[in-house]
Amino acid sequence: MKLNAQTQPAYTGALEKFSGQVDPKAFDSLDWTRARYNEMPRRLRFSATTRKQAEAWQKKLRAKLTEMVGGFPPRIPLKPLILETRDFPNYTRETIAFESRPGLSVFGYLLIPRQKVKPMPVVISVPGHGRGADDIVGIDDKGQDRTQKVTYQFDYAIQLVEHGMAAFAIEPLGFGCRRDPASRKKGLGTSSCQPSAGAALLFGETMIGWRVFDIMRTVDFLQTRTEFDPKRIGLMGISGGGTATIFGAALEPRIAAAFASGYLNTFRDSILSISHCIDNYVPGILNWCEQYDVASLIAPRPLFCESGVKDPIFPLEAFQFAFGEVKKAYGIYGAPDNIGHEIHPGPHVFHGKQGLPFLARHLKA
């Protein structure tokens, strides 16, 4: 019987007619890159057995990681501007801009709880992919205040205030008001991570390095404000904000505690194997370390990580393995109580049920 167009099997590619003559795995990009992963030396992986060795290892890897993300430029004057101040029932919200590098400014919302003893703890809050800082401070896609916590980020800057901490929600480069004209035309949720992260690679730098430096400059700014305790500055974020949190806390020792949601994993099982935004990549990093080695640079400072059972882009099993590796570093430092984690039943969303109290406890909110 002759097959018609509707019943004829779909064409699967040039190799289908050569079945049995070639090994399909020899043409599989993922199979080949995972095999290459097994060959990566990871020369600065964590292997310390004493605190002294761990401290020496951190010094070496932190220097190498700084080099790999592109290095950091000299500081320039911040020249901060308070663009607007608004009062809400439980907090005051300042809209702020300051200079990070020559020709580049940071935008953010500073939420300061009412009736808190000063100086108080403050947490730098970095949103993940989406509309930017608006989406974690209760501003909807019409620019209006909303009363319900929605989307996958659930206004966690406001949740920080509800847990007794100030929050500075900063706009990551490539999101919100820090985008190019082409992405602005496509809507509020379209980022300009590409081509800006690609431009960073062309410069021999990385978007991770750019965002980490913005975090460093945010610490500089917060240390000029007498309302905040300079020794109680935290850092948190989900997804791309989780990336910024792990790398930021790893490279900025002034971060006193960190909370990464929907990020901690292995490079192998996440960004090497699953399609991710280009802003996640650091060229050559697997020659030196894995993601859990980067997170181990935070030890012994408090670190909390969470992951969803149904997260499709940061697989749960790899999260559990990576967390176990980071926990070893905290054990060497004799600080097992300074690391915690939660596995929630949801997908790639912010949860915070245990992470926010963990931050509040360690920042003495």
Q: Which two tokens stand for residue 46?
A: 């964590």
Domain of residue 263 covers: 51-362
Q: Are 156 and 136 in contact (CB under 8 A)?
A: yes
For 232, phi then psi, to 5°, come to -130, 55
Does 240 map to a domain?
yes
Given a cut of 80, is residue 1 above it in pLDDT? no
Confidence of residue 6 (pLDDT cuts 50, 70, 90): low
For 20, phi then psi, to 5°, come to 90, -15
Does 29 map to a domain?
no
Does 1 map to a domain?
no
Does 10 map to a domain?
no
Q: Is the full-model pTM beyond 0.85?
A: yes
Does 45 map to a domain?
no
Given a cut of 60, is residue 319 above it in pLDDT? yes
Given a cut of 90, is residue 8 above it in pLDDT? no
The string of pLDDT tens digits covering residues 224-267 is 999 999 999 999 999 999 999 999 999 999 999 999 999 999 99
Write down the pLDDT at residue 121.
98
Domain CATH number, residue 221:
3.40.50.1820
Inter-CA distances, 330 with 107, 128, 293, 316, 334, Å: 34, 27, 12, 21, 6
Is the alpha carbon torsion for 252, 257, 263, 264 positive or negative?
A: positive
How far apart are the C-alpha atoms of 123 and 278, rounded to whole Å? 26
Looking at the 3D structure of the chain, how many domains does it have? 1
Does 60 map to a domain?
yes
Quote the percentage of the chain above a pLDDT of 70. 98
Confidence of residue 4 (pLDDT cuts 50, 70, 90): low
Given a cut of 90, is residue 153 above it in pLDDT? yes
How far apart are the C-alpha atoms of 211 and 226, rounded to whole Å? 25
The string of pLDDT tens digits covering residues 341-361 is 999 999 999 999 999 999 999
Write down the pLDDT at residue 3.
52
How far apart are the C-alpha atoms of 83 and 132, rounded to whole Å? 18
Mean pLDDT of 10-36: 90
Given a cut of 80, is residue 142 above it in pLDDT? yes
Given a cut of 90, is residue 9 above it in pLDDT? no
Q: How high does pLDDT run on average in the chain?
A: 96
Mean pLDDT of 66-81: 98
Is the alpha carbon torsion for 106, 220, 169, 246 positive or negative?
A: positive
Is the alpha carbon torsion for 49, 50, 55, 60 positive or negative?
A: negative
Write down the pLDDT at residue 317.
98
The string of pLDDT tens digits covering residues 174-229 is 999 999 999 999 999 999 999 999 999 999 999 999 999 999 999 999 999 999 99
Write 198-205 long-range contacts (CB < 8 A, 24+): 198/278, 200/70, 201/278, 201/281, 201/283, 203/70, 204/70, 205/69, 205/70, 205/71
How far apart are the C-alpha atoms of 35 and 31, rounded to whole Å? 6
Instruction: Select the more confidently predicted residue: 315 or 3.
Output: 315
